Amino acid sequence: MTFKLGLTGSIGMGKSTTAALFAEEGCAVWDADAAVHRLYGEGGAAVPLIAALFPSAIEDGSVSRDRLRKIIDKDASTLAHIEEIVHPLVAQDRQDFLDSTDADIAVLDIPLLFETGAEAAMDAVVCVDIPPEEQERRVLARGTMSAAQFAQIRARQMPNAEKAARSDYVIVTDTVEHARAQVQTVVQQIREKLRHA
């Protein structure tokens, strides 16, 4: 039996780094964002479905995230239609991953875990956390979005303090060494539980 560990946290909190640390400990890792990239890519399952509703979102046989963002910016109600298409496909991709892994722990990296109700399918949830000012500094340092765009994304996500409060484990990602030590503790605790199950 594979233990399903949901990994969540708001933008810029260090989720990708933490997922890589879990992989170092021998956990299988599935990434919701990577699944969306596959679904949006050429030949991806989301392409014909999105093309039927928003033909202008398609570029060179794949879904253009930039074009999709512009469509959503013009009419926020389109986001719900896109989510109706994408969420079931992502859930199927996740299930296919779980069906194919023989790892004892599968880490499911899902940014909107609580927002989409995916926590119900997990055996436990771990949330990454840092202070909001450090979060903002990290995101803006990437140079991929403005402070206004960041504020918009943060406003759409559940506050990280609430995610942390609802999680079984919290990993503070102030340094990689500190995060690694916490990941090792979480993995040890889960493996201990599995041994006695």
**CATH label of the domain that carries residue 180:** 3.40.50.300
Q: Domain check: are 15 and 45 in the same one?
A: no
Strands 124-129, 3-8: pairing is parallel
Q: What is the pLDDT of residue 156?
A: 80
Mean pLDDT computed over every residue of the chain: 94
- Give the pLDDT band (50/70/90) at residue 42: very high
Q: What is the pLDDT of residue 124?
A: 98
Q: What is the pLDDT of residue 20?
A: 97
Rounded Cα distance, 104 and 101, in Å: 9
Range of the domain at 15: 1-27+108-197
Q: What is the pLDDT of residue 135?
A: 92
pTM attached to this predicted model: 0.89
Instruction: Note whether residue 60 is domain-resident.
Output: yes
Q: Domain check: are 142 and 51 in the same one?
A: no
Q: What is the pLDDT of residue 114?
A: 94
Q: Domain check: are 98 and 114 in the same one?
A: no
Q: Which of 62, 81, 102 is the C-terminal boundary of a domain?
A: 102
Q: Domain check: are 84 and 177 in the same one?
A: no
Instruction: Note whether residue 33 is domain-resident.
Output: no
Indicate if the pLDDT at residue 195 is higher than 90.
Answer: yes
Q: Give the residue with greater pLDDT, 81 vs 21.
A: 21
Q: What is the pLDDT of residue 88?
A: 93
pLDDT, tens only, 142-166: 988 889 888 888 888 889 999 999 9
Instruction: Note whether residue 73 is domain-resident.
Output: yes
Sign, CA torsion 182/183/186/189: negative
- Give the pLDDT band (50/70/90) at residue 115: confident
Q: Which of 83, 102, 121 is the C-terminal boundary of a domain?
A: 102
Q: Domain check: are 19 and 76 in the same one?
A: no
Instruction: Note whether residue 32 is domain-resident.
Output: no
Q: Domain check: are 112 and 23 in the same one?
A: yes
Q: Domain check: are 73 and 126 in the same one?
A: no
Q: How many domains does the chain have?
A: 2
Question: What is the DSSP-derived secondary structure letter of residue 159?
Answer: P
Residue 113 backbone phi and psi in degrees, to 5: -55, -55
Q: What is the pLDDT of residue 99?
A: 96
Q: What is the pLDDT of residue 173?
A: 96
Q: Domain check: are 71 and 134 in the same one?
A: no
